[in-house]
């Protein structure tokens, strides 16, 4: 049994009470590591350490170039330990080992590097011409950043918070998902090894409501709260932070459409839509879980998706041949099964897929025949399940695609450039992919409309969130 501990003030710590919980390997369904169970006391210690490191430590006043050098060293170590970090994600939540589908561990180092470079090169506006005063602005670190992350991409989620928060000079208390704690502790140790001072990156393990997560989100001692996870938890956390007017960044759920027009290249559109639906077992906030296919190609798209679904190898996530591991938890498996069980009664047909008995594996699943009001068409399933629906006109598909409470991502496939631009304008989502899926650029804004979240990540947006902007007026 491996052990996973908190990292507070630069040291590995157990909880004051010695309490622990287990993290389960979802493929074997056996616990594989014992984790320190943090609560209010550990959260308070971590926030205090982060505050001291911010106020008194060398981090707060470190020249940006030195900070950037440390962050590049941190990124180098993340790359060095990519196999170990990948192993931790596989054991914690079943992601295929070394998975490249939008989630590869070495590539995540770019979060650290690119935000660091942005901070290094950043300037701030001056406001000349007043004649009697020199007026300029500057961006200052916000302070102590609380980060609460989910289990679907543990390393990526942690570095997507650490990268910009550290680049702009903040200190951090990270509470990773209780289902996938391992990578966070390792990342904090790598930051220390890179020379990031003690107390700058703290990790507290534990649960959400009524536990470590809630203690962190409701603390008056934090200056920012950044969260990725479900819409329900995002709303709860936002309300906790609002009590102390702590600004929040919330990246929540999605129900992404993939629109395939009759003029699309099927060789591109079908495999991309399959990837959008099935990658990471559908446990992606940007998953394309609704496919809309234009009537003339509807049958071809359905056939193609079924073929793709059957070709994806499902099984042991440590086996290099595997493209889909198990769902991350028994809870998640039960949730997805609940959606699948309702489909026949709602008038739908499962053409291929379904759960594999005796574990938490779900084969890529293709569903047709559902009306837009069906639960599987409206709620985030977070499993490898795609619902395919025909459409006739552009107006009709825009209405269908936008008929959702979410608005994180959308993709569409067409060879008509005018239509591509029009779709990009009309789809109400924070990122629209045309003839592709999943491509991100850390400079570009990322975040959701409506219930998909509050705020945006991405270079300038991250700077706005993780800093305070100050105006200085100097009299001549």
Catalytic residues: 251, 285
At closest approach, how far in Å is the CB of 151 from ligand NAI?
Answer: 6
Does 23 bind Mg ion (CB under 5 A)? Our answer is yes
If one asks whether residue 281 binds Mg ion (CB under 5 A), the answer comes out as no
- Number of residues engaging Mg ion in binding (CB under 5 A): 4
* 19 vs 124 by CB, closer to ligand NAI: 19
Locate 365 and state its tokens: 């699943």
Q: Look at residue 316 and give the partner it binds from Mg ion, ligand NAI, none, a contact being a CB closer than 5 to 8 Å depending on partner kind.
A: none
Distance in Å, CB of 91 to Mg ion, minimum: 8
In terms of Cβ atoms closer than 10 Å to its own Cβ (0-12, 13-18, 19+), residue 61 is exposed
Three-state DSSP at 220 gives: coil
Q: Which helix (DSSP H) or strand (DSSP E) does residue 91 occupy?
A: helix 82-93
349/88 Cα distance (integer angstroms) = 37
Distance CA 157, CA 150 (A): 7
24 makes contact, choosing from ligand NAI, Mg ion, none, with CB < 5 to 8 Å by partner type, with: Mg ion
Cross-strand bridge partners of residue 134: 474
129 phi-psi bin (left φ>0, alpha ψ -120 to 50, beta other): left
Is residue 89 involved in binding Mg ion (CB under 5 A)? no
92 binds, among Mg ion, ligand NAI, none (CB under 5 to 8 A by kind): Mg ion
Question: Which are the contacts of 176, defined by CB distance < 8 A and separation ≥ 6?
Answer: 149, 151, 154, 157, 158, 183, 184, 203, 205
Stretch that binds Mg ion, among 73-81, 173-181, 224-232, 239-247 (CB under 5 A): 173-181
Least CB distance to ligand NAI at residue 12 (A) = 20
Q: Which does 23 bind (CB under 5 to 8 A by kind): Mg ion, ligand NAI, none?
A: Mg ion
Query: In the bound complex, what is the minimum distance in angstroms from residue 329's beta carbon to ligand NAI?
Result: 7
What is the binding site for ligand NAI (CB under 6 A)?
148-152, 175, 177-178, 207-209, 213-214, 217, 228-230, 233, 236-237, 252-254, 285, 332, 335, 380, 382
What burial letters (b/e) apply to 245-270, b meaning 16+ CB within 10 Å?
A: ebbbbbbbbbbbbbbbbbebeeeebb
Residue 167 in contact with residue 115, Cβ under 8 Å?
yes
Residue 180 beta carbon to Mg ion: minimum distance, rounded to whole angstroms: 6
The DSSP H or E segment spanning 454 is strand 453-454
Closer CB to ligand NAI, 289 or 294, in the complex: 289
Q: Between residues 119 and 146, which has the closer beta carbon with respect to ligand NAI?
A: 146
Q: Are 138 and 64 in contact (CB under 8 A)?
A: no
Of 23 and 149, CB closest to Mg ion: 23
Residue 324's DSSP bridge partners are 314
Which residues of this protein are in contact with Mg ion, per CB under 5 A? 23-24, 92, 179
């Amino acid at each position: 049994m491996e052990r996973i501990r908190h990292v507070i003030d630069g040291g590995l710590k157990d909880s004051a009470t010695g309490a622990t919980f287990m993290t389960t390997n979802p493929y074997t369904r056996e616990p594989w590591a014992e984790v320190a169970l943090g609560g209010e006391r550990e959260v308070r210690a971590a926030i205090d350490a982060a505050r001291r490191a911010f106020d008194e430590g060398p981090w707060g006043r470190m020249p940006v170039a030195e900070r950037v050098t440390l962050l590049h060293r941190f990124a180098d170590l993340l790359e060095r330990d990519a196999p170990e970090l990948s192993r931790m994600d596989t054991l914690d939540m079943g992601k295929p080992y070394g998975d490249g589908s939008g989630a590869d561990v070495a590539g995540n180092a770019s979060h650290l590097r690119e935000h660091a470079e942005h901070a290094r090169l950043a300037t701030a506006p001056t406001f000349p011409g007043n004649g009697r005063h020199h007026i300029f602005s500057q961006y200052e670190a916000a302070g102590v950043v609380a980060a609460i992350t989910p289990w679907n991409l543990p390393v990526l989620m942690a570095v997507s918070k650490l990268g910009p928060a550290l680049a702009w000079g903040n200190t951090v208390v990270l509470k990773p998902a209780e289902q996938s704690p391992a990578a966070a502790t390792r990342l904090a140790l790598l930051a220390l090894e890179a020379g990031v001072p003690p107390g700058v990156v703290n990790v507290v393990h534990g649960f959400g409501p009524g536990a470590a997560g809630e203690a962190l989100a409701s603390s008056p001692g934090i200056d920012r709260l950044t969260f990725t996870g479900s819409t329900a938890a995002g709303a709860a956390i936002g309300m906790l932070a609002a009590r102390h007017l702590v600004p929040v960044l919330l990246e929540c759920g999605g129900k992404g459409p993939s629109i395939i027009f009759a003029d699309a290249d099927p060789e591109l559109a079908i495999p991309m839509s399959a990837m959008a639906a099935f990658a990471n077992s559908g446990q992606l906030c940007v998953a394309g879980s609704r496919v809309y296919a234009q009537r003339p190609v509807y049958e071809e798209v359905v056939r193609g998706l079924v073929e793709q679904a059957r070709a994806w190898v499902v099984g042991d996530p440590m086996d290099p041949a595997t493209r889909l591991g198990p769902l991350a938890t028994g809870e998640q498996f039960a949730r997805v099964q609940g959606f699948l069980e309702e489909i026949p009664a709602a008038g739908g047909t499962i053409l291929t897929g379904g759960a594999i008995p005796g574990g938490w594996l779900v084969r890529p699943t293709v569903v047709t025949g559902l009306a837009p009001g069906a639960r599987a068409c409206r709620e985030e399933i977070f499993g490898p399940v795609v619902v395919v629906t025909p459409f006739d006109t552009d107006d009709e598909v825009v209405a269908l695609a936008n008929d959702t409470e979410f608005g994180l991502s959308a993709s569409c496939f067409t060879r008509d450039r005018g239509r591509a631009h029009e779709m990009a304008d009309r789809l109400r989502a924070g990122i629209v992919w045309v003839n592709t899926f999943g491509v991100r650029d850390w400079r570009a804004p990322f975040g959701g409309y409506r219930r998909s979240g509050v705020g945006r990540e991405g270079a300038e947006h991250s700077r706005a969130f993780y800093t305070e902007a100050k105006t200085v007026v100097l009299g001549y």
